[in-house]
Structure 1
């Protein structure tokens, strides 16, 4: 065995378990030495890899955990480093640019904070999809005119949906619960303008205040905003809100003064009100086109469309290259029982074709079919064309960007990267009223109560809007609201099981639990609340949160008596002969004693009350009585006995 080929000292040792090592492969000791050289003791002796000037990009609002993932270290080590630098932060707390700057300087990294848009560009460029390079390489000869994308915005019940009905000859309002638009829809209509047939794409954004996020998204994808203001109602809070979104997106505005046929209509008042918000009508010397319309009567609809096209031609250069891979935005998405995930997308650049491999947010797949707003199958969708896309593997979110990928594998990889980034962003966005370190202590002291919610809706935009609205409910630091799951489609058995495990309430927005799922929820005592209109859900949850608050009490004085004489009793101890000065002294009431304005003792109890020789339950002001304070005997003449009770303060 000693010298043979199978022995430990033979030739096999040079390649196997013997004395040598494989040429070119580092030993464990060499690897350990190299790793230790990479590490340098930071402040407080914490070892983390040195960056040596390496640039690390993180999304704005990123946490220490996000940065730790980028440099492959334990987040706890970074918490220690920050602590020794004089900064207190938890691993899941979002950090500002200055804090990241201090941390980067200490560790030798150049930390660059980027917006989600920049992060998206970097992600796509890592897959050789360079949006900036494509935009810069656009030749004038490749650009073709495209239809304007118009968003209809305004206050609730000012006639936005009715106006779109008049434009596209379709009655959408009948299908809306409470008459409030709760989905985003995209439609394309055609009209005659200067002897040419022109197309206009309309995005109908909801008007209820809870859909601020969706309305803001509408302003981002749009070229022109139509601001609908009722002539009989004037400028309202959500009118201003919609106006702010459009102006923040630097979008030209056309004002449609609706309901001019209604009694009490005053279109001139609307024009005057909007001058305060820098919307000055052309007749007043401004640049904003105002059109008086009546959606119900169909009055001046053609004039409104003409105003949109005139504004587009005068203020915007609406051109795009249709001969390249499509880029755009998912306007809405939902789960259809027969067709699976369906996304309404707006093509912004290029042309989308059946068979393209696309990725929309964290959803990916091949375009199996495309439908227009009338349900007609189309083979190709050019710039500014809204279509419904079938073939995605999951439900995209409203507002997700979509791109055409070279192949299915690339599409899946992009979707997975986006999903991971979204998961980190949602964790940072989660509402935490206390830090993780304080949670156990706070729960032990009964300081925190949590309401867990699971949100399910018919479309992703509604779920997102409901989530944003619920997270804005503020009832103080004593109650924590957690949304532990959200999704699109019917309430499933998985949702019910999660609710059972976490004591959560399920909110169903235009969806229900049916059949066996409803029976399981009923049997297990899982509360499911159904809502067709969003503000009802917000109101109920707010009331529930207020009901979880621990009651607050205030002290109310019920009576006071002045001690005039002290009687000694072998049976009862000292008895205070007193005159009731105010209120009523009741037997069993809590009491305190003050002497010359200073409290002698509190939390006493009126254990006995007598009028002459009779035991009584109460004595009103102006009457004399004998008061027994139980075992407490340290009383003097002229002391004041005050009785009080604790009353619950109703929550507002």
Structure 2
């Protein structure tokens, strides 16, 4: 058994310093050639333990870190793409993560999204509070440890830093994490370390690297064990065309050994398994050589995990980013394993619901998980661009439930020949390359739809209303009765039934007129001429009587359960009077309602 380097991913909001941090780490290791420099991989940078030793020096000794971990393997893919593309069976490919936050700006939408992804995959992480050099009055000391530079800061600067740190602590607490500045932590197993750094000056990078190594040493040694001679397991990062090589795949190998001429299994866009033979394994030349050299790669015969490698092989055109990669020691087993891994997420899960499309297996998995957390039913989840079949399926789902007429598309396009079909349909498309924003837009749409539905129901149910037949304003006694009225409370509409204070049906409102204009509805304070079908003035009511809109019992229960908060004080008073009138005849009318 061998212990491999832990795979580390850097996540965070755009412009908060992900690339600067990786560039600084790479730059400092390149400069220190005597310590062994670095090994550059496809999509990754490996820093060996002797280089880390040279950078961190005494600080590692203080943490009593032993030399069992061979180094750190940083995934270069910026942002959460490393998580949403790179995965292995059971979760994320990365063993550890750095969540980078601009200490002066705090958590942003993409920071929160990255945090959700870390939470989803249960990945251990540390927070790099970047850009401390921009705190007003900060006295920078290049390449110094935070422990060395912090004591020399002015008291006001120290206080400002602490205030900003505790803002981060508060946000993390809201998201379910206990955290503290790294040098104040009492329990590394239960608290997230916040390390103040500057990717520009290098301050705090020593502690950052040492803390990663410490976490790996303490909690990950078991999962970092690999069989050096076992068939390789990996995941596809990217499919690229290289001059002279044709279509190639960039892959991260996280277990076993990969050799030239190995037969490998990969996932293709049709959800089938491609079996192909490796023609060439290509490693990039070290960074310092690449500056002058016209050649990018050198051919190797084998690589051992953890490693990033470019593979040239036949028929790679349709391979999917994020596909599992397996060396076929046993063809049937490897093929079954690849299909099983894909089926875990890329499968129709329910008979109704929304459609999800994504660019990679990992991003599909993330989308499915996050929408399930919102209790959103998912009819289908697949890799690839939005096509005509998706629009047809979504239209079918919409007929069953209008809230299911949605396609969520992460980092994929709508095929050109389908754009008109989509525009002509009522299907709602939510697309983009930030999961957080897509979900936000989807939730906003759902809320709008629910509010619209609620409004339609509210507009169509019978609500409390009371009016008075005005004295000396009877224009016709019957067939229909036409009288002058004033609305005392609520809204009165055409075709509503009317009762008197003894719960006797007076008749049905035929029409309402004011100065020659026919009105479909009137509100409190309005005075109009009203025609009431089947009513006889003097028999069913008299001038000066108060009359009530007759609310069906089912409508009453709906009003008090769903819309009581929308009623005005006078409407609530009228509703209470109406219930009392009804219960004189039937004590159980509207039982367990608002006025119990």
When normalised by structure 2's length, the TM-score is 0.57
Give the whole-Å Cα distance in 1 for the aligned partners of 2:103 and 2:254.
34
- Of residues 283, 306, 314 in structure 2, which corresponds to 1:384? 306
Aligned residue for 1:486, secondary structure, equals strand
Q: How much has 1:260 moved relative to structure 2?
A: 0.5
- Of residues 459, 465, 482 in structure 1, which corresponds to 2:366? 465
Aligned residue for 1:395, secondary structure, equals coil
- Of residues 334, 337, 357 in structure 2, which corresponds to 1:455? 357
Give the whole-Å Cα distance in 2 for the aligned partners of 1:247 and 1:454.
21
Q: How much has 1:324 moved relative to structure 2?
A: 0.8
Give the whole-Å Cα distance in 1 for the aligned partners of 2:265 and 2:220.
29
Whether 2:435 is the aligned partner of 1:531: answer: no
Alignment of 1:177-576 (within 5 A): 186-190=43-47, 192-194=51-53, 199-203=71-75, 220-233=92-105, 253-263=125-135, 266-269=160-163, 273=169, 277=177, 279=179, 283-284=183-184, 286=186, 291-301=195-205, 304-309=208-213, 312=216, 317=221, 320=225, 323-330=228-235, 332=237, 344-360=250-266, 363-365=273-275, 366-372=277-283, 376-379=297-300, 380-391=302-313, 394-396=318-320, 398=322, 402-406=325-329, 410-411=331-332, 414-416=334-336, 418-419=338-339, 422-423=342-343, 427=347, 430-432=349-351, 453=355, 455=357, 457=359, 459-470=360-371, 482-483=379-380, 486-488=382-384, 495-497=387-389, 499-500=391-392, 503=395, 509-512=410-413, 517=417, 531-542=432-443, 545=446, 550=453, 551-554=456-459, 560-562=467-469, 569=476, 573-575=479-481
Change (3 A) 1:304 1:599: farther
Do the aligned residues in 2 keep the contact of 1:608 with 1:630 (CA within 8 Å)?
Answer: no
Q: How much has 1:545 moved relative to structure 2?
A: 4.8
Change (3 A) 1:423 1:599: farther
Cα-to-partner distance string for 1:120-154 (whole Å, 9 max, x where unaligned): xxxxxxxxxxxxxxxxxxxxxxx445323223345
Give the whole-Å Cα distance in 1 for the aligned partners of 2:425 and 2:358.
18
When normalised by structure 1's length, the TM-score is 0.53
Unpaired runs of 5+ in structure 1? 1-142, 171-184, 434-449
Q: How much has 1:293 moved relative to structure 2?
A: 1.7
Q: Name the structure 2 match of 1:150.
A: 8
Q: How much has 1:512 moved relative to structure 2?
A: 4.0
Cα-to-partner distance string for 1:332-366 (whole Å, 9 max, x where unaligned): 45586998986554333321112212335663433
Do the aligned residues in 2 keep the contact of 1:343 with 1:390 (CA within 8 Å)?
Answer: yes
Q: CA RMSD in A?
A: 5.5
Do the aligned residues in 2 keep the contact of 1:605 with 1:629 (CA within 8 Å)?
Answer: yes
Do the aligned residues in 1 keep the contact of 2:490 with 2:523 (CA within 8 Å)?
Answer: yes
Q: How much has 1:201 moved relative to structure 2?
A: 0.9
Cα-to-partner distance string for 1:146-169 (whole Å, 9 max, x where unaligned): 323223345676433442243346
Aligned residue for 1:629, secondary structure, equals strand
Give the whole-Å Cα distance in 1 for the aligned partners of 2:474 and 2:350.
63
User: Per chain length, whose mean CA-contact separation is higher, i.e. which structure has more relative contact order (CA < 8 Å, sep 6+)?
Assistant: 2
Give the whole-Å Cα distance in 1 for the aligned partners of 2:251 and 2:128.
26
Aligned residue for 1:194, secondary structure, equals helix
Do the aligned residues in 1 keep the contact of 2:10 with 2:99 (CA within 8 Å)?
Answer: yes
Cα-to-partner distance string for 1:12-66 (whole Å, 9 max, x where unaligned): xxxxxxxxxxxxxxxxxxxxxxxxxxxxxxxxxxxxxxxxxxxxxxxxxxxxxxx
Change (3 A) 1:575 1:540: same
Change (3 A) 1:548 1:348: same
Give the whole-Å Cα distance in 1 for the aligned partners of 2:178 and 2:513.
75
Give the whole-Å Cα distance in 2 for the aligned partners of 1:454 and 1:240.
21
Do the aligned residues in 2 keep the contact of 1:146 with 1:384 (CA within 8 Å)?
Answer: yes
Do the aligned residues in 2 keep the contact of 1:357 with 1:364 (CA within 8 Å)?
Answer: no
Cα-to-partner distance string for 1:397-420 (whole Å, 9 max, x where unaligned): 63x65432226xx15x64256536
Change (3 A) 1:262 1:373: farther
Q: How much has 1:487 moved relative to structure 2?
A: 2.1
Aligned residue for 2:72, secondary structure, equals strand
Do the aligned residues in 2 keep the contact of 1:332 with 1:345 (CA within 8 Å)?
Answer: yes
Q: Name the structure 2 match of 1:37.
A: none
Aligned residue for 2:496, secondary structure, equals strand
Q: Name the structure 1 match of 2:593.
A: none
Alignment of 1:572-611 (within 5 A): 573-575=479-481, 577-582=483-488, 589-596=494-501, 598=503, 600=505, 604-607=508-511, 609=513
Do the aligned residues in 1 keep the contact of 2:501 with 2:548 (CA within 8 Å)?
Answer: no
Q: Name the structure 2 match of 1:630.
A: 533
Do the aligned residues in 1 keep the contact of 2:264 with 2:325 (CA within 8 Å)?
Answer: yes
Give the whole-Å Cα distance in 2 for the aligned partners of 1:161 and 1:519.
36
Aligned residue for 1:324, secondary structure, equals coil
Q: How much has 1:536 moved relative to structure 2?
A: 4.7
Q: How much has 1:187 moved relative to structure 2?
A: 1.0
Change (3 A) 1:420 1:474: closer
Cα-to-partner distance string for 1:300-333 (whole Å, 9 max, x where unaligned): 4455335434554566648756641334342645
Q: How much has 1:616 moved relative to structure 2?
A: 6.1
Give the whole-Å Cα distance in 2 for the aligned partners of 1:383 and 1:325.
10
Change (3 A) 1:467 1:395: farther
Give the whole-Å Cα distance in 2 for the aligned partners of 1:526 and 1:562.
48
